[in-house]
Amino acid sequence: MIDFARVQKELQECTRDMEASGIRVSPKGDTLARLIGTIPGPIGTPYEGGTFQIDISLPDGYPFEPPKMQFATKVWHPNISSQSGAICLDILKDQWSPALTLKTALLSVQALLSAPEPDDPQDAVVAQQYLKDYQTFVGTARYWTETFAKASSLGVEEKVQKLLEMGFAEALVRSALEAVGGDENLALEKLCSG
């Protein structure tokens, strides 16, 4: 059974210092077992300026088992599958510790973006490019960031506009979209119920 009390507190803590860390965790739907994490692309990397969403699903044994994390935003990175978004990171596997939290795990993922490990790749094609043609790798990664990591925020603006046209206040719309992790229909539901 998931320790929901702990997850609840983690979310509160994460919300509290969201300004400082830039990392956001919000529930996806009405269960705390599925969450959406958002990390900003590290400055000074090809991922700078992008906002990356990570699907989080908590196993029953959480926090004694690691959370399952996967990029929902497409990323060009040696340790992240360009197809599935699967992350190759030790703390999400055998090096997980119950003392880690969703926030620290997401911070580690963010650190992975700025420090790729091509010798232990998740995506062999990206890793080969990183090792053999770094300039091309940087170009591709930047292009993917521009295309996918910023499009989602553009998408958010479109959703906000749509909901605004339905007659909701902008602040409410934005907070509702944030709360449901950017899902337009869920945000509409939340706005109608709240």
Minimum CB separation of residue 8 from other proteins in Å reads 9
CB nearer to other proteins: give 29 or 98: 98
Cα–Cα dist 112/125, whole Å: 18
Residue among 31 and 97 whose Cβ is closer to other proteins = 97
User: Using CA atoms, how far apart are residues 74 and 88, in angstroms rounded to an integer?
Assistant: 15
Q: Which of 19, 36, 4, 12 shows the shortest CA–CA distance to 177?
A: 36
Judged by beta carbon, residue 76 or residue 96, the one nearer other proteins is 96
User: Rule CB under 8 A: which residues touch other proteins?
Assistant: 3, 5-6, 9, 61, 63-64, 95, 97-99
Residue 128: CB minimum distance to other proteins, A? 32
Q: Which of 88, 91, 107, 172 is catalytic?
A: 88
CB of 19 to other proteins, least distance (A): 22
Q: By C-beta, is 7 or 126 nearer to other proteins?
A: 7
CB-CB neighbours of 97 under 10 Å: 10
Task: Name the residue with tokens 């046209």.
Answer: 165
CB of 121 to other proteins, least distance (A): 24
**Chain centroid, CA 32 distance in Å:** 16
Our answer to whether residue 14 is catalytic in this structure is no
| Pick from 40, 75, 3, 24: nearest CA to 181 | 24
Could you give the residue numbers annotated as active site?
A: 88
